[in-house]
Structure formats: structure tokens, C-alpha cells
Chains A and B, each alone.
Chain A
Amino acid sequence: MTDPAPLLVVEDLHVSVGDREILRGVDLVISEGETHVLLGPNGGGKTTLLNTIVGLPGYRVTQGRILFKGVDLAGLDIDERARMGIGVAFQRPPAVRGIKLRQLIEVAADGRFDEAMLADLVGELSLENMIDRDVNMGFSGGEMKRSEMAQLLAQAPDLTLFDEPESGVDLDNIAVVGAAMTRLLKAERAGMSKRSGLIVTHTGHILEYVNADIGHVLYGGRLACRGNPRDLIDEISRHGYDKCVECAICQR
């Protein structure tokens, strides 16, 4: 059996925001069908890594590169990356006046969605009261995450990046969000490669609802540790991030 093909390859990535270097040589390979988890203290650069992969302005790559499906992402705009198959669930997406969630789901689906599929999505994520509202305008934490999941299920990216999917969400909503993430990552796609994911989490709480294959700890601008996600979380909860970086379960 051959190893699954790499989908995302991050090589020696250095990223600065303003004058500050946040990432200092990140190496990461996510293969088809794999779900990775990115742990780490606040301010460690987790969101920076995600936003750099997405292509948001303000994140300056000073060294290294990111390859997606073998293509160097340098110089590609956010929408081009999205159309190549990169999706992102934002931690705090902006409210957009006058644009309904329904519209955003439709543009994300780019013609692949019909009324029946939309109705299923509305039912699955309980979007009845949100679908015709301005997106994220006055949405609760749980509503915001469900809205993000709906857009991503419509977009069906090959690689989905989740930024703190459990933050600001109550327990009922975490289960719904977790189920949607699982569907997004494990969906059967006849004749197509399996989907992949990268989940950024501060607490690791979401892992009670989603299975992840590999965990990393981003610390001091580098991936300091790699291992089984649950073991890493246990270790961190017992000893904190500082110790984790040196611990025995690290396979790095």
C-alpha cells in the first residue's frame, strides 16, 4: 500500500505580521484523508498559520513556502485558493449587512447545490431562524459556528481549516458543530480523494466530537511537538505547554 499523497506541504515557513516575526520555520505535511490538530498557547501563532494558508493580507511570508496539491500558493489570492479547495471556518467571522446566510451558502456552493440539499442543510444545522438573516449580524456564538459549517458543507473544500471551532459555543451547539465537522471531513466522495482538515484549538474540547489523526503543538513560532492528539492534550492539561515541548510522547 502506498502512502496517501500529500495535500498540503508547509516548508520552513516564516511569517511576519507588521515588524514582528510570528512563525519561525514551520514544517507541516497534511496528506489526503488526514485530520490534524494544532494546539498551542494563545499568541503562539496558530491563527497566523491558518490565515497565511488562507491568504489573508497582512501575513507576510519572509521565508519558506506553502504547497497545496503541489502548487505554490505564493501570489495566489484568497478566492483562488478557495477555488483550489481550501476552506476556512473563522473563529469570529464578520457580520455583513445586507448579505443573507442563504446567499453566502449559494455562492460557496457555486452551483453544486439544489433546493433539496439546502433544505437538508437547514434541517441538520437548525438554520431556520438564520438562513434569511444578514450573515453573522446579531448571531450568537453557536449560530455563528453553525453558519460557518453550513457554508463549508456547501463549499465542500478538500482541505478545511477550523479556527477554534468550540470557542463561544455551548455544549448543545458543540455537538452539532462537531457532527458537521465530521461530515465535512469524512464525507465519502466517489472516485475522489479523501478530505483533510486542520483544526486549531486552544482547549482541545472539540476532539470529544471529532476524530483527529495527528496533533501538533505550535510553540514559539515552531511546531515543537507532534503526537497522538489525545495524549498531547492529556500531557498539556497536566503539565502545561512549557513542559509539553520537552515531553516523552513527542514523536518529533
Chain B
Amino acid sequence: MPEMTRFDVQARIAEIRALAEAARDKKAAYGPDLDLSRFNPAADAQSVESLESLEKQVKEVALGVGIDTKEENRSGTYFQVDRSPIYERVTEMYGGKLEIMSTAQALQLYPELMYEKYYWRAVAPDKDKYTAQVALQPTEGYFIRVLPGQKIEKPIQACLFVSENNISQNVHNVIIMEEGSEATVITGCTIHPKVREGLHAGISEFYVGKGAKLTFTMIHNWAEDFDVRPRTGIVVEEDGTYVNNYVLLKPVKSIQSFPVARLVGARSRAVFNSIVYGLADSYIDIGSESVLEGPGSRSEAVARTVTKDRSIVYSRGRLVGRTNDCKAHLDCRGMVQSEQSTQWAIPDLASEGAPGAELSHEAAISPIAAEEIYYLMSRGVPKDEAVSMITRGFLDLEIPGLPPALKRQIDKALEETAKESM
């Protein structure tokens, strides 16, 4: 390649830094504002040869967010503790089909490519103070690339684990689905049972190439004093499909997340499914945005939210149509189960210079129906069990493409949460 056309990596690094510096104190559009100075930097952790050597408690909580430390039925694994990637592996069968490494390694391996096309290209470093924090004090994150035409049948798993109290884990993840590739990625974010408070700020940038398909399932399991600020951007090209499944069933102090999918290619698609259980004093502000730019692009967002205790849940959904031939639908249903909890359902539709865009929504907030409870009771089910069964049924989205083992785990977690909260 001639020298003059090479991308200037150093200039871009300086630019990212300058943008981030300027946004250091920039409040986020949604969610409670956090004082970032109260969190300590994340510490180093020791690498492991095998996930089986992890302590039992770690393995258990990892399993709770869909991470199988035995790696059965997985094509590859990335495991990060605090600031350190401790384990990365692609199983033999998938060697040469997919790459898994830390984002820092990927930046070293493909500097021009990464800085020019992927790194901080789907999420802006100056979006708010949390993106700025990740840009200025990055603590790794995963890089997954599926090579052109490769269909990875078994899920890839990535665990972002916080083991120390009151640290700030600032991860930056990049997934590249090359043309015609297909994969399922399960990301489990969780903490050691001893961790009470802390911050997880996570940048995720996903690129779904021509005719590629990415099913991304994220399960969160935090603690009552833990704050979470993911920032996610997805770009989908021609005939590409992105499916996002998000599951939060445990208490958290606050979480605010609003992934944005840009459907730039013709016939590109995005699907967002969210299952959220608001418990204790959780402040949960979640949503998604689909920007439909490619002709024939389609999007669907389905959210089910339940609030109990004193929880506050915002369920947002934004659809922006920018091409005449596009169609998108939002479906957010909420169930309020306590007098002290609050729910907002906020659908938001816009057609920008696209008179042919078809955008629609259904939003509903309702109580658990008494007649449904009595119906189950008339079959001999005690009242509290009936409530728990109905709640579980309400949250059961029957997400297509979910690996059966993960589905069972989510069902189990739903059941446990429903029982515990009774």
C-alpha cells in the first residue's frame, strides 16, 4: 500500500483523546448522574490456563449469566476479571474461522483497520462522561471477529467480571461479523458475591457485514449498590441481521443503556428483545433506537418489564425512519406489582424526510390481572405461586434463536427471582 494513503493512527488517537477530554463532565441524556471520582481504578488479575481452575463461587455466578466454564457447547470464550483478560480461547474446531482476543491486542494487530473503521466509529468518544471515561482509562474488553462466510453454530461466550469492590471497569468491546458470517454471542456481566458497589462502563461496537447475522444475548447480574452504563452502537449492512436480547433479573443501583442500531444497508434488520425485572431500589433506564436508512430495512423492539418493591423502570424505544421503504414496530408492556414502584413506557417515533416510512408502537402498563390469579388458584395453585407463574409467563418472550441451554438458564433465573421476590 502506498505510504500516503495509510490511515494516520496517531492523529486519530489524539483526536479521540481530545474529544473524550472535552466530554469528561458531560452528563448523560438519561439516568442519574454519577460522580466518577468515587470509583477506584480497576486492578490487574491473574491469567488462568483453564476456566475450571477459577474459584467455585466465580464459576457459579458466571453460570448465572450464561457463561459455561466447562465450555461445553461453546465455540470460544473470552473471560475478563476487573481490568485483565484472564482467558481467551477459540475451540479447535473453530480455529481459522473466528478470532477472540482483547480489544487492546486487536488494536496492536490491526491498528489502521481498527482506528479507521471500527474503534470509536459506532459510538462517539464524546457522547457523555462514561464514553469519555472509557476512552481515557480503558480497561480492555473483547474483540471478536467472525471470518467471511463462516457460520459458527455454537455460541461464543464473553464474561466481564468484577471481583473487587468499588472499582470502575471500563471495557470496550468490538464485534466484527464479516460478509456472510453468522454467530451467537452470549455476554455475561456480573460480579463476585463480595462486591457491593462499583461501576461497569462498557462500550460495545458491533459491525454486521453484508448478509451476516449476529445474535447477541446479554445477561446482567449486579448488586444493589452497583452502577452500570453500557454504550452500544451497531451498524448493519446490506441483508445483515442483528438480534439483541437483554436480560436483567436482579437488583442494581442504577443502569442506563440505550443501544443504537444504524440499519445502513438495504434490507438490513434489527430486533431488540428485553426482559427486565425491577427489584428493591433499582433504577433502570433501558431502551433501544433503530435508525432505518437502507431501503427495505426493518426493525422490531419488544420489551417486557415488571416492577416490584421501590424500583423505577424506564422502557424507551425509538424508531427513526430515513428511507421511504422501511418498517418498524415497538412493543413495550409493563406490569407494576408494587405501590412504591414506578414505570415509564416511552415510545418515540420519527420519520425524517421519509413519507413512506411505516413506524408503529404498542405500549401498555397494567396490573397483574386478578382473574388470571383466581383462574390458576381454581386449579389448586396457591396465590403466591399463581402470581409468580403469571409474572414468569409475562416475561417469557420466547426469544427466537436462543440456545436451549441459555433459555433454561433464563427460565431458572426467572423462577428464582420470582420466588425470592415473593
Residue contacts A-B, CB under 8 angstroms, 24 given: A54-B378, A57-B374, A78-B377, A78-B378, A79-B378, A79-B380, A82-B378, A82-B380, A83-B380, A88-B378, A90-B378, A94-B369, A94-B371, A97-B393, A97-B394, A98-B394, A98-B396, A99-B389, A99-B390, A99-B393, A103-B389, A107-B389, A108-B379, A151-B379
Pairwise interchain contact B375-A79, C-beta atoms closer than 8 A: no
Interface extent on B, as a size class? 20 to 34
The CA of A151 and the CA of B378, in the complex, are separated in Å by 10
Would you call B392 an interface residue if the criterion is a C-beta within 8 Å of the partner chain's C-beta atoms? yes
Would you call B382 an interface residue if the criterion is a C-beta within 8 Å of the partner chain's C-beta atoms? yes
Interface extent on A, as a size class? 20 to 34
The CA of A37 and the CA of B412, in the complex, are separated in Å by 45
Would you call A155 an interface residue if the criterion is a C-beta within 8 Å of the partner chain's C-beta atoms? yes
Residue of chain A at shortest CB distance from B379? A108
Shortest beta-carbon distance from B85 to chain A in Å = 38
The CA of A78 and the CA of B379, in the complex, are separated in Å by 9
The CA of A77 and the CA of B386, in the complex, are separated in Å by 13
- Residues of chain A with a CB closer than 8 A to B393's CB: 96-99, 134
Shortest beta-carbon distance from A153 to chain B in Å = 12
Would you call B22 an interface residue if the criterion is a C-beta within 8 Å of the partner chain's C-beta atoms? no
Pairwise interchain contact A79-B372, C-beta atoms closer than 8 A: no
Interface residues of B in 391-410 (CB under 8 A from A): 392-396
Shortest beta-carbon distance from B249 to chain A in Å = 15
Residue of chain A at shortest CB distance from B382? A79
Pairwise interchain contact B380-A108, C-beta atoms closer than 8 A: yes
Would you call B419 an interface residue if the criterion is a C-beta within 8 Å of the partner chain's C-beta atoms? no
Residue of chain B at shortest CB distance from A161? B378
Would you call A187 an interface residue if the criterion is a C-beta within 8 Å of the partner chain's C-beta atoms? no
- Residues of chain A with a CB closer than 8 A to B12's CB: none
The CA of A77 and the CA of B377, in the complex, are separated in Å by 8
Pairwise interchain contact A96-B380, C-beta atoms closer than 8 A: no
A96 and B375 in contact (CB under 8 A), knowing A77-B383, A79-B383?
A: yes
- Residues of chain A with a CB closer than 8 A to B386's CB: 79
Would you call B280 an interface residue if the criterion is a C-beta within 8 Å of the partner chain's C-beta atoms? no
Would you call A249 an interface residue if the criterion is a C-beta within 8 Å of the partner chain's C-beta atoms? no
- Residues of chain B with a CB closer than 8 A to A134's CB: 393
The residue that A94 contacts in the complex, of B375, B382, B389, with Cβ under 8 A, is B375
- Residues of chain B with a CB closer than 8 A to A93's CB: 375
Would you call B45 an interface residue if the criterion is a C-beta within 8 Å of the partner chain's C-beta atoms? no
Pairwise interchain contact A104-B390, C-beta atoms closer than 8 A: no
Residue of chain A at shortest CB distance from B333? A97
Would you call A56 an interface residue if the criterion is a C-beta within 8 Å of the partner chain's C-beta atoms? yes
- Residues of chain B with a CB closer than 8 A to A108's CB: 379-380
Pairwise interchain contact A107-B378, C-beta atoms closer than 8 A: no
- Residues of chain B with a CB closer than 8 A to A79's CB: 377-378, 380-383, 386
- Residues of chain B with a CB closer than 8 A to A94's CB: 369, 371-372, 375
- Residues of chain A with a CB closer than 8 A to B63's CB: none
- Residues of chain B with a CB closer than 8 A to A87's CB: 378
Interface string of A102-139 (1 = CB under 8 A from B): 01100110100000000000000000000000100000
Would you call B363 an interface residue if the criterion is a C-beta within 8 Å of the partner chain's C-beta atoms? no
Interface string of A184-211 (1 = CB under 8 A from B): 0000000000000000000000000000
The CA of A104 and the CA of B394, in the complex, are separated in Å by 15
Shortest beta-carbon distance from A53 to chain B in Å = 11
Shortest beta-carbon distance from A56 to chain B in Å = 6
Interface string of A2-40 (1 = CB under 8 A from B): 000000000000000000000000000000000000000
The CA of A97 and the CA of B374, in the complex, are separated in Å by 15
